[in-house]
Copies of this chain bind each other. A is one copy, B any other.
């Protein structure tokens, strides 16, 4: 799964400039890219070379020009392929686990402090994602464009349901992490009592 597919997916929603795409990526936590210029503008050039998107420069008065990219028919096909491609498994990247596994030289107090610090980080993440989710549920998310084209094939409700489930996934992953920190803490508090359970 490369960043090009993420770009196609965004353009499948509505035609956008590089800058728009960057913004969308940055507030879509289910896209595992940071949304930096270098990749996006490069991806757009390549997609354009491959004939999957076409860009048109909009000269506007009173604000800077933008290059708006649209999916071509080919690009639309590619996007439909994407949807039915065999799914990749999730990846959990948790440097904290390495830290924990290397922490046997720490005192109990230091260890518990470390766990507290981690839990704080995770709580911050949770608050952030819950915020995004609420914002998406109240406003229509990714709907803020001015060009209100009539939606063609999809009921729209389906789309909203799927998006909601995506955010639920992220939130529940984070909650599961918090539950684990609880278990971790209690395992550390009653030390060495496991042998006859």
Contacts and interface: CB of A to CB of B under 8 A. Distances in A.
A30 B97 contact: yes
Contact of A122 (B90, B94, B159): B90
A45 interface: no
A125 interface: yes
Interface string A161-192: 11101101110111011011001100110011
A82 interface: yes
Contacts of A122: 89-90
A80 B168 CA distance: 37
Interface residues of A, number: 71
A170 B97 contact: yes
A32 interface: yes
Given A101-B163, A153-B105, A117 B87 contact: yes
A161 B177 contact: no
A117 B86 contact: yes
Contacts of A177: 90, 169, 173
A88 interface: yes
A83 B83 CA distance: 42
With a 10 A CB-CB cut-off, give which of A102, A103, A114, A188 has the most chain B CB atoms.
A102
Interface in A95-146: 95-106, 110, 114, 117-118, 121-122, 124-125
6 contacts: A83-B114, A87-B95, A87-B121, A105-B154, A161-B194, A172-B179
The 3 closest A-B CB pairs, nearest first, are A176-B176, A30-B97, A1-B95
